[in-house]
Structure 1
Amino acid sequence: MAADRLSVVVTRRLPEVVEKRLGELFDVSLRHGEDDRPMSREELASAMQSADILVPAVTDRIDAPLLARAGDRLKLIANYGAGVDNIDVHTARQRGILVSNTPGVSTDDTADMTLALLLAVTRRIPEGLAAMQSEGWAGWAPTAFMGGRLAGRRLGILGMGRIGQAVARRAAVFGMQVHYHNRTRLRPEIEEQAGATYWESLDQMMARVDILSVNCPHTPSTFHLVNARRLKLMKPTAVIVNTSRGEVIDENALTRGLRAGELAGAGLDVFEHGAAINPQLRELPNVVLLPHMGSATVEGRIEMGEKVIINIKTFADGHRPPDMVVPSMI
């Protein structure tokens, strides 16, 4: 290996084509074989002390205490993912460490999964699947597995960025009425293209929609934005879908509302405490749980890897990474 090649540590297994390209360009340390568990804090600290560049995933929490243990060599954290709430970007920049991410890659994939969850919950697809797998299905009946149609329902989108707008376009095809709440209102021409109605008040929107789709990032201002008080504003026939970040919803309050019949159902691809899901959620027949699959397409994961490589290569050439994250963006 050339002595001047950058040392890169990758914390999780990536698609083979991405790992191969990283190996061609850099002095890279990869996870091997079946070892795809998240690194421990000690392993992360060791990697940050020896590497020029760290490539973490959303499962790796790079906080201020961990950054304090980074070596002088570490100059770039090239996050494999669009969200950077797992990284203390402010502290990283103070220590002279740049942070990059992979925005825009999973927009369509995540929007597709949002609609899949909407259909799964409203049309009771998992219940039908379970009946067929149990071999106990006795045949069609007029009142069996009755759900509700999407056409005509009001969809409220919380967070109208790339993914929110992609969800709006798909919802319109299903004949849904699109409403949204966002930190800033969209330009009139974008609003018109999306066929979306803006609500300045999240409370008022949540009280009127039939389905709420959470598509905003996790920031200090969005933590528990959907809390117990706001959940009680919703119709008892309403459904919630979250393919964004679990911390936006108070998971315990949501569970209580579902158990009490104050909400009709939920479709969740992300959870407030990662893999430590409220066990009561697993017991509810009107809840569909997925293991963070929103961006899990072969094409999307390879494109994410390509963005990581471009960010590292651009940095190695002495330029600003094209997807560099600055604190003011968060």
Structure 2
Amino acid sequence: MESMETLMASLDSHSSTSSAASDAARLAEVQSWLSSLFDQVNRQVPDLTLTPASIKHLHSLASLSQSRSRASAIVAPDLRQKAAEYRAEAARIREILSSAGLGREHLSPSAVSSAQAVADVANLLGIRDTETSSFVVANADLVLRKTEVAEKRINVQRESKMLLEYTRKAITKLAELKKLLSKFENEAALHEEQMYRWQKNLAMLDEKERQYNSQLGNYKALLNRAGYTSDINHGVLMQMAEDKKDYEKKTKPILDTLRSYQDLPPDKTLAALAIEDKKRQYAAAEKYLEDVLGLCLNAPPL
């Protein structure tokens, strides 16, 4: 364990030492770079408050500047050589023109101005010579650019017209909305009383809703206690009513027969005696009827 702690401590000290060395190297490079820059303009390096962040930023700038300086140092000789070649070529052409009597001093002012105009046009078109083919190609490029610009201009004009039309419609719609707003503002006072009544009605309706919900809960509880289910509906009740009517029709004769037996005593012997008594009464009534009919038949006519 102690060896591990010792190893970690040594690594930390080594990393801190290497970081400090790296910062010192960066600071030295930055100071050297700043000194070289200010020496070129014969000025002293101002006193700067250098922090780790500023040193890092200046070091990145120094690295970039030095890399660009090296690239410039590599390219500069080639450019100088090309410039010398161009000057030599210009001197040779000038000598040839002078020997042919076409030097600038031998030309009229109008010819000089024309040649200068041709040179300016060549520079403007970005061509390196004054050959007719070069001017034709450059002119063709200009025509193509002009065509592209004309097409873009047409598109821009079309879009401008569309935007103008949209703007007009938007202005018209804005005017209509302003009129509607003014109308609503004028009518707001007229509708305030109605809104007040609606608010009162809404409060009353809310109270009614609470009452109805309470009653509905009570009715549901009552139906649950009564054993009501969702299967019991209007159609089922109507079918049960029809079945009840059919049962009443079928049981009515039986009930009438049973009602005729209600006068009989519950005992069988007494019932037999009652039946015999009824038979005697029936026989007596029948005999009485016969006697009455006989008297009526035997009576002398008036």
Q: TM-score, normalised by structure 1?
A: 0.15
Give the structure with the larger helix fraction.
2
Q: Which has the higher strand share?
A: 1
Structure having greater relative contact order (Cα 8 Å, sep ≥ 6) = 1
Larger CA Rg, structure 1 vs 2: 2
TM-score norm. by structure 2 comes to: 0.16
